[in-house]
Chains A and B, each alone.
Chain A
Amino acid sequence: MEPDVSIETSCMIRIAVLPIGDVPPPLLRDYHSMLLRHHAIPLSTISSFYTEHQKSPFAHQPWDSGSLRFKFVLGGAPPSPWEDFQSNRKILAVIGICHCPSSPDLDFVIDQFNAACKGYTSALVERCFAFCPGDSQLEDGKKRENLVLFPPSDRATQEFHLQTMMQDIAASLLMEFEKWVLQAESAGTILKTPLDSQATLSSEEVIKAKKRRLARAQKTIGDYCLLAGSPVDANAHYSTALELARLTADYFWYAGALEGSVCAILVDRMGQKDSVVEDEVRYRYNSVIVHYRKSFIQDNAQRVSPLTFELEATLKLARFLCRRDLAKEVVELLTSAADGAKSLIDASDRLILYVEIARLFGTLGYQRKAAFFSRQVAQLYLQQENRLAAISAMQVLAMTTKAYRVQSRASISRHPLSNETESGHADGGKMHHQSVVSLFESQWSTLQMVVLREILLSAVRAGDPLAAWSAAARLLRSYYPLITPAGQNGLASALSNSAERLPSGTRCADPALPFIRLYSFPLHPSQMDIVKRNPAREDWWAGSAPSGPFIYTPFSKGEPNDNSKQDLIWIVGEPVQVLVELANPCGFDLKVDSIYLSVQSGNFDSFPLSVDLPPNSSQVIMLSGIPTSVGPVVIPGCTVHCFGVITEHLFRDVDNLLLGAAQGLVLSDPFRCCGSPRLRNVSVPNISVVPPLPLLVSHVVGGDGAVVLYEGEIRDVWINLANAGTVPVEQAHISLSGRNQDSVISIAYETLKSALPLKPGAEVTLPVTLKAWRLGLGESDTAAGKSASGSTGRNVKDGSSPSLLIHYAGPLGDAGDLETNKSSVPPGRRLVVPLQICVLQGLSFVKARLLSMEIPAHVGESLSNLANVDGNPLDETVGYGNKIERLVKIDPFRGSWGLRFLELELSNPTDVVFEISVSVQLEKSSNGDDLSVDYAAEYGYPKTRIDRDYFARVLIPLEHFKLPFLDDSIFSKDWQSDGYTGGRNPIFSERNTKAELNASIKNLISRIKVRWQSGRNSSGELNIKDAIQAALQSSVMDVLLPDPLTFGFRLARNGSENASKLDLPKELNTSIQPSASKNFVIAHDMTPMEVLVRNNTKETIKMNLSVTCRDVAGENCVEGTKATVLWAGVLSGITMEVPPLQESKHCFSLYFLVPGEYTLVAAAVIDDANDVLRARAKSKSPDEPIFCRGPPFHVHVDGTA
């Protein structure tokens, strides 16, 4: 059988093209391709070379439209035994091709050519074309027969030259054909085929053969007419031949003549196909096939069979009909042709048959059928077990890969269309189910594995390591679940063996293992966050975050940063990381020599990594790299160096695979079978690279660990900021975020501001003062529990610590640039410095109480300074050197020594010791005439030590500060707060007074500071303001308000003195007091005394005053049976009326019988008390008598009993 047969083959003149001498293969191919252009020489062009020697037998030669067709057989072909039957099988001409530079001796070339031509006895014309002759060869004038030198020139000239030569050959051939035909007509030629019996002919057969000879001669003449391009002549001869052959029952030749006649019809019609011609051809060829079949002779079937001609005829018809709309007919023909393959004796015939069937199916568009027969061809090749056959097998199999969907990616990329559709799939985020399915169309895994295995086998046999590697990689990657571990190991070793024979650094389009998918793109750590910069605003970072409560605002629509979620900004020169997950689902150890991100945009340096993956395992690794220049970065996948070959692994492929696995369309999910959890689809964000930005790096001086603070502790921390970037920091701003922001007392903004611009490499240290916040209720419980067990890490993690947000930015860029393009402003950055504060429970406050103490005054001549210190309470404290004594002072309104303490009860639940120090800031004098002593200095009280798990009480002495008089305006508040209704309308501005009162309380509280210290460097302040306020609020009246009446006693030795004393209290106070400090009362002596009553209200008070005297035991010693004191004057029921803010006195005398200590107490019942007084006395009912009692006064009585 012959390859590539068609009906028109019968009219083609076969020319052997032989390389003469040494011709490099590429050049030979080049010369051959030049020849191929001249496969048809129109008759009209050869007339100049044609000379009619005698009358042409081709009477109907179409000189104007016909042509001679050539079929060039490169390398020639051995003579066929069927030459006589089909003249087109003869090699009718030989063209030698010689490349002169490699064969200098032209004589030798001619000899070689002549020797080569000896093999082609049927050749009628022989020419040797010598290309590129040297000068010497050109000058060699010797005329050589059949040698044509093509002088070196440009290609066009050379082609023209060649065309001329071909026309010459065509003309020569035509003349030879004429000669042959004339000869054949006149003399009888013997035409035999292998089909004819080789045995000695019997007489009967000789007669039969003689009869047949005429038909055969006519058929052969018809063949020559056809070759000469004269179909009409050919047809005439064929008709005769058909008649004669039918008569002689020479079916074989009958079929041959019929074939020739069909060809003549087609050539005559010049390729025009209409349905009439088609029907005619179909009819005739069916007849041809039938007649070939008829000529089958059983007795020589073993040796020779006309089957090949039958099959060729079938193929010729199929090729002629090969159109989509006749597919069914063609398929029938091809199927029957394929059936004939079994009967073919020669394996190469079968090969050719399958090749032709595959080609025809391919032409028909039946790719799977074509692939099937191609694989049959490949199997026939593989049976031959030699390298060339293996190469052929490999190439044929490579053609089938498309139909079986196992093609190498290298071949896919050659087809832009398929590539396009693939990327189209990948772009759509949501794939429709159907399109997902279409990705996995025709997953005939069994077939695919067989084909890949055969490719692997043939590639190994053909010695093509790259193809073998690629096939093994595809096999392993796609079908690992169907391959046994032993098979997987075999493939792994096949990969390694192939790689050994490849040069290092070989790339292959088909990835092997591992499977790589994108795990995540880590966003910038908070230390290097990038913030869009709004140059129009002072706080340029503010606009970057979406403002307002709405996720979507119509105003932001259309802004280019709408899809900011998908955007990722990388910075030139700063390393970035991408997490990818690798999976090795196979049963062998996978050693990835290097893996790095493959970036197409070329502005990224990626760092390779080496990974070892154990069998059936997956691993997340971090791939890093550095962007090198500004622009977008596209990361389609990773470049992997594994099994000795560099491959590109695209994320998209694995994504599609996983999608298919999710739909149950793919065999297995490689990550899932490695035990990796299912992961959502990570899409590659749009990554853009921006120019270098400054980069601040922070660390806390003294270690980045958490600062452990007790509640209320105050401590400074120093934060060191260094510019690790290559651009100076020109703007910086610090703000706070997170919880407990008020725990940051101060930040040294100025230090940062003054350090700007911060050059690359420069550092600045910021002091930050922290005050530990109070733990909440639940917090303190757990914190206490934790501190007991010694763990301190809890508070750091729960995010209760505040963070410093440092927004900083580099230079703005050119001003002109800024105006033209707003987006060109380089972004700023944000550094988040979490202040890691671990607050431990410190001293805890239990309660606060106000304690008051009264020390009775001694009755003396000079003590009655009731009104002296009015409004000037500090007066008395001046002279005291002792600090404690200073606090014990006369209550100017009560007349007794009074002492008030704020008692704080504290507990120490911690395991350290605390020391408490209380300080009260002294009130600065508000009076201008007061002494200019600076009282701002604090009192230093001895420190109180609280051991662990102990309670302690701290006393804070309070100074007096009372209002000068009792006024109803004060009570207006009290009434309201106590729920009184219907009280008098306040006269004074109620609010002012209240505010005054509150202010005074606040003033008091703010002056009290309780500081604590623990260990060497922990110190802080107890926040007890609220507690004090609560404690004071209840007793504020007692502390602040004077009693309505003030009582005082004194010895009245000299009435005139007393009067003057009252008039000039101050003078006396200073002059007499020191001398009068020695007051004594003697027993058995009449002691004149007087009681002073001061009215602290603004209204006259009428009262009923009484004075009692008690001894040490508290017995009333004035009345009763055992009275030890005698008296003169009135002691009880004294009716008295005191004008507002005035005092009255009442004189009486006492006679002490027994020396000792006595106490004098004055008391009064106020008549007709008004509301103010009632309120002050907290009386419940208006009928209740208002009773005022003065403080006790001590009297020391000297003398002998």
Chain B
Amino acid sequence: MATTACFIIVSRNDIPIYEAEVGSAAKREDAAQLHQFILHAALDIVQDLAWTTSAMFLKAIDRFNDLVVSVYVTAGHTRFMLLHDSRNDDGIKSFFQEVHELYIKILLNPLYLPGSRITSSHFDTKVRALARKYL
């Protein structure tokens, strides 16, 4: 398991709809903020990069210091962004794919307005479990 990892889902309108600190390192508020800042900044790169490839998993697209941003873009242009300090491309890819399935299940909920915040605790639990498994 990675020491630092921050997973975030950004809707197509660039609004974060799900945030989770999934690293094993002790939680520090300023670090969490920095993670979000890095991920927010990486959106600029994603927006260009997403159109250059047909793959959903964009791999590591950005880094700051020793933190790497990996991104997975769904067909609906929802972006799964993971900030991590480990180099485990395969695990990250599997993680993204499984989260994508969970996300599709959320989308299938008729009461969920696409683009709004994901508040399902079940989703949260599953994502954290996946993070423990793959990262």
Could you say which of A369, A404, A444, A663 has the most chain B C-beta atoms within 10 Å of its C-beta?
A444
Q: A366-B45, A369-B45, A446-B33 are in contact. Are A437 and B40 (CB under 8 A)?
A: no
Q: Are A444 and B36 in contact (CB under 8 A)?
A: yes
Residues on the B chain within 8 Å of A369, using CB: 41-42, 44-45
A371 to B62, CA, bound (A): 15
1/0 per residue, CB under 8 A from B, across A615-648: the answer is: 0000000000000000000000000000000000
Q: Are B15 and A665 in contact (CB under 8 A)?
A: yes
A339 to B117, CA, bound (A): 34
Q: Are A437 and B36 in contact (CB under 8 A)?
A: no
Does B16 touch A at the CB level, under 8 Å?
A: yes
Q: Are B45 and A331 in contact (CB under 8 A)?
A: yes
Q: A450-B33, A664-B116 are in contact. Are A368 and B40 (CB under 8 A)?
A: yes
Residues of A312-343 whose CB lies within 8 A of B: 327-328, 331, 335, 338-339, 342
Does A442 touch B at the CB level, under 8 Å?
A: yes
Q: Are A444 and B16 in contact (CB under 8 A)?
A: yes
Contact of A372 among B15, B40, B48, B63 (CB under 8 A): B40
**What's the nearest-Cβ distance from chain A to residue B42, in Å?**
8
Q: Are A437 and B43 in contact (CB under 8 A)?
A: no
Q: Are B48 and A664 in contact (CB under 8 A)?
A: no
For B49, the closest partner residue in chain A by CB is A328
Could you say which of B13, B16, B113, B116 has the most chain A C-beta atoms within 10 Å of its C-beta?
B13
Residues of B100-122 whose CB lies within 8 A of A: 113, 115-117
1/0 per residue, CB under 8 A from B, across A356-379: the answer is: 000001000011110111010000
Residues on the A chain within 8 Å of B33, using CB: 446-447, 450
**What's the nearest-Cβ distance from chain B to residue A451, in Å?**
9
Residues on the B chain within 8 Å of A440, using CB: 13, 15
Could you say which of B32, B37, B113, B115 has the most chain A C-beta atoms within 10 Å of its C-beta?
B37
Q: Are A442 and B15 in contact (CB under 8 A)?
A: yes
A611 to B48, CA, bound (A): 51
**What's the nearest-Cβ distance from chain A to residue B78, in Å?**
13
Does A443 touch B at the CB level, under 8 Å?
A: yes
Q: Are B41 and A437 in contact (CB under 8 A)?
A: no
Residues on the A chain within 8 Å of B115, using CB: 437, 665
Does A438 touch B at the CB level, under 8 Å?
A: yes
A178 to B42, CA, bound (A): 51
For B32, the closest partner residue in chain A by CB is A446
Q: Are A443 and B116 in contact (CB under 8 A)?
A: no
Does A911 touch B at the CB level, under 8 Å?
A: no
Does A205 touch B at the CB level, under 8 Å?
A: no
Q: Are B13 and A371 in contact (CB under 8 A)?
A: no
For B65, the closest partner residue in chain A by CB is A342
Residues on the B chain within 8 Å of A328, using CB: 48-49, 52
Q: Are B113 and A368 in contact (CB under 8 A)?
A: no
Residues on the B chain within 8 Å of A373, using CB: 41
Residues of B45-79 whose CB lies within 8 A of A: 45, 48-49, 52, 62-65
For A372, the closest partner residue in chain B by CB is B41
Q: A339-B63, A440-B15 are in contact. Are A371 and B41 (CB under 8 A)?
A: yes
Residues on the B chain within 8 Å of A1099, using CB: none
Does A441 touch B at the CB level, under 8 Å?
A: yes
Q: Are B40 and A444 in contact (CB under 8 A)?
A: yes
For A341, the closest partner residue in chain B by CB is B65
**What's the nearest-Cβ distance from chain A to residue B38, in Å?**
7
1/0 per residue, CB under 8 A from B, across A421-446: the answer is: 00000000000000001101111101
Contact of B117 among A361, A404, A447, A664 (CB under 8 A): A664
Q: Are B38 and A372 in contact (CB under 8 A)?
A: yes
Q: Are A442 and B14 in contact (CB under 8 A)?
A: yes
Residues on the B chain within 8 Å of A375, using CB: 37
Instruction: Count residues on chain A whose CB falls below 8 Å from chain B CBs.
Output: 30
A663 to B17, CA, bound (A): 13
Residues on the B chain within 8 Å of A443, using CB: 15-16
Residues on the B chain within 8 Å of A361, using CB: 44
Q: Are A447 and B116 in contact (CB under 8 A)?
A: no
A491 to B62, CA, bound (A): 36
**What's the nearest-Cβ distance from chain B to residue A662, in Å?**
11
Q: Are A366 and B36 in contact (CB under 8 A)?
A: no
Q: Are A665 and B116 in contact (CB under 8 A)?
A: yes
Q: Are B65 and A447 in contact (CB under 8 A)?
A: no
A1092 to B41, CA, bound (A): 131
Q: Are A338 and B64 in contact (CB under 8 A)?
A: yes
A443 to B44, CA, bound (A): 16
Residues on the B chain within 8 Å of A331, using CB: 45, 62
1/0 per residue, CB under 8 A from B, across A442-473: the answer is: 11101100100000000000000000000000
Residues of A586-610 whose CB lies within 8 A of B: none
Q: Are A446 and B15 in contact (CB under 8 A)?
A: no
1/0 per residue, CB under 8 A from B, across A944-968: the answer is: 0000000000000000000000000
For A404, the closest partner residue in chain B by CB is B40
Q: Are B37 and A447 in contact (CB under 8 A)?
A: yes
**What's the nearest-Cβ distance from chain B to residue A328, in Å?**
7
Q: Are B13 and A441 in contact (CB under 8 A)?
A: yes
Residues on the A chain within 8 Å of B48, using CB: 327-328
A447 to B45, CA, bound (A): 18
**What's the nearest-Cβ distance from chain B to residue A1181, in Å?**
86
**What's the nearest-Cβ distance from chain B to residue A1142, in Å?**
105
Q: Are A372 and B116 in contact (CB under 8 A)?
A: no
A366 to B42, CA, bound (A): 9
A331 to B49, CA, bound (A): 11
Residues on the B chain within 8 Å of A327, using CB: 48
Q: Are A441 and B14 in contact (CB under 8 A)?
A: yes
Q: Are A447 and B14 in contact (CB under 8 A)?
A: no
Residues on the A chain within 8 Å of B32, using CB: 446
A437 to B45, CA, bound (A): 22
Q: Are B62 and A335 in contact (CB under 8 A)?
A: yes
**What's the nearest-Cβ distance from chain A to residue B111, in Å?**
11
Residues on the A chain within 8 Å of B52, using CB: 328
Q: Are A437 and B63 in contact (CB under 8 A)?
A: no
Residues on the B chain within 8 Å of A404, using CB: 40
1/0 per residue, CB under 8 A from A, across B21-43: the answer is: 00000000000110011101111
Residues on the B chain within 8 Å of A665, using CB: 15, 115-116
A193 to B41, CA, bound (A): 38
A872 to B76, CA, bound (A): 109
A443 to B115, CA, bound (A): 12
Q: Are B63 and A438 in contact (CB under 8 A)?
A: no
Q: Are B36 and A446 in contact (CB under 8 A)?
A: yes
Residues of B68-99 whose CB lies within 8 A of A: none
A833 to B112, CA, bound (A): 55
Residues on the B chain within 8 Å of A342, using CB: 65
A627 to B38, CA, bound (A): 54
**What's the nearest-Cβ distance from chain A to residue B76, in Å?**
13
Residues on the A chain within 8 Å of B15, using CB: 437, 440-444, 665
A447 to B37, CA, bound (A): 6
Q: 23 pairs across A/B with beta carbons < 8 Å?
A: A327-B48, A328-B49, A331-B45, A335-B62, A335-B63, A338-B64, A339-B63, A342-B65, A366-B45, A368-B40, A372-B41, A372-B64, A437-B13, A438-B13, A441-B15, A442-B14, A443-B15, A444-B15, A444-B16, A444-B36, A447-B33, A663-B113, A663-B116
Interface residues of A (CB under 8 A from B): 327-328, 331, 335, 338-339, 342, 361, 366-369, 371-373, 375, 404, 437-438, 440-444, 446-447, 450, 663-665
- Contacts A338-B64, A664-B117, A665-B15 aside, 15 further interface pairs with beta carbons under 8 A come to A327-B48, A328-B48, A331-B45, A342-B65, A366-B41, A368-B41, A372-B38, A372-B41, A441-B13, A442-B14, A444-B16, A444-B40, A446-B19, A446-B32, A447-B40
Sort A-B residue pairs by CB-CB distance and give the 5 closest, nearest first: A372-B41, A366-B44, A664-B116, A442-B14, A368-B44
